Structure 1
Amino acid sequence: MHIRSYQPSDYIEIANLFHKSVHAIKQSFYSKEELEAWAPTPPDYTDWKARLLEKKPFVALENNGIIGFIELESDGHIDCLYVHPEHQGSGIASQLLQHLRMVAQKKKITRLHVEASKVAMPFFKKSGFTLIKENHINLRGQSLLNYSMSSNTQP
């Protein structure tokens, strides 16, 4: 596995990875309706193309396929961290976060912050993030629960 910067040709593969990752979440965490609100079927590739050109995520690749991605905004916000369902639990998210921390330090960003899902919150907590508050986000007619968390760029 290696990590590289986003390329414009990645947008369909990333949109599909995001959709698969969200819809692989057990319904004990989020209902089918909540998952569909979070990641509508089919993905809107036009929106994803525009979004990713702005966000410019880092992507994890294995055998020339994208298996994960992470986004860093200039204020230290991590907007997305997703790993393909077939690769979850294999350290990809940790490697992406470690890469992001190094990039953030080079950019003189001292704090990272994220709104983590119920599924991602334990990962971020284990990675040195502190829980700030619980959020209820209204999205496409559904109320989704997530958690505001923050960390220094050096854990």
Structure 2
Amino acid sequence: MAIKIRRYRPEDAKALTDIFYAAVHGPALEYYSQAQADAWAPMPKNYAAWQARFDCHPPFVALQGDKLVGFMTLEPDGHIDVAYSHPAHQRQGIATALYHHLQAQALTLHLPMLYVEASYLARPFFAKQGFSLVRENQVERGGQILVNFSMQKRLKYN
């Protein structure tokens, strides 16, 4: 099924929050403990906080048909803050489509580079997109240490 990318709309917030929780409490458990996942995405889901976050930093969203299946943000300085695909729709090109759209936006804005703090799960994806490892980070959240990886990619202009 074709993937459509568009800008976030406020009515997307609940579905995007559900995607985040499903990704953290699903595929990420291959790399992180349940306690770490609970600290990363604590229950109950805080829909209001995510709504406020999305309203301040609107992501690009991916749809298959009319179903939201992923999202990714691009901040004005080239930071990719969040990048998640629904577990039931992973390995279908959703993150790649989102990333290509985001990179095209970055090129339009003449950003010199993109950078991200990638989870264990996301690190291979960003490496495949041409990002290089800068350093490994240990981040404390909810009494748990979470490992992520600072990565960056210099953008090329013709």
What TM bracket, shorter-length normalisation?
over 0.9
Paired with 1:28 and 1:100, the residues of 2 have a C-alpha distance of 27
CA contact (8 A) 1:101 1:154 kept: no
The answer to whether 1:108 aligns with 2:105 is no
SS of the equivalent of 1:27 reads helix
Aligned to 2:60: 58
Paired with 2:156 and 2:86, the residues of 1 have a C-alpha distance of 26
Segments of structure 2 that go 5 or more residues without pairing to the other structure are none
Aligned to 1:92: 94
Aligned pair count reads 155
Segments of structure 1 that go 5 or more residues without pairing to the other structure are none
Aligned to 2:43: 41
Paired with 1:44 and 1:2, the residues of 2 have a C-alpha distance of 27
Letter in 1 for 2:69: I
CA contact (8 A) 2:28 2:121 kept: no
Give percent identity, aligned residues only.
43
Shift of 1:37: 0.7
Paired with 2:104 and 2:29, the residues of 1 have a C-alpha distance of 34
Aligned to 1:144: 146
Q: Residue 20 and residue 69 in structure 1: after superposition, are their counterparts in 2 closer, same or farther (change >3 A)?
A: same
Paired with 2:38 and 2:129, the residues of 1 have a C-alpha distance of 28
The C-alpha deviation readout for 1:74-96, integer Å capped at 9, x for no partner, is 11000011000011111110110
Paired with 1:25 and 1:68, the residues of 2 have a C-alpha distance of 14
SS of the equivalent of 2:138 reads strand
CA contact (8 A) 1:70 1:80 kept: yes
Structure 1 vs Structure 2 CA RMSD: 1.3
Shift of 1:154: 4.3
Query: If the length of structure 2 is used for normalisation, what is the TM-score?
Result: 0.94
Query: If the length of structure 1 is used for normalisation, what is the TM-score?
Result: 0.96
Letter in 2 for 1:72: L
CA contact (8 A) 1:68 1:84 kept: yes
Q: Residue 44 and residue 150 in structure 1: after superposition, are their counterparts in 2 closer, same or farther (change >3 A)?
A: same
Aligned to 1:15: 17
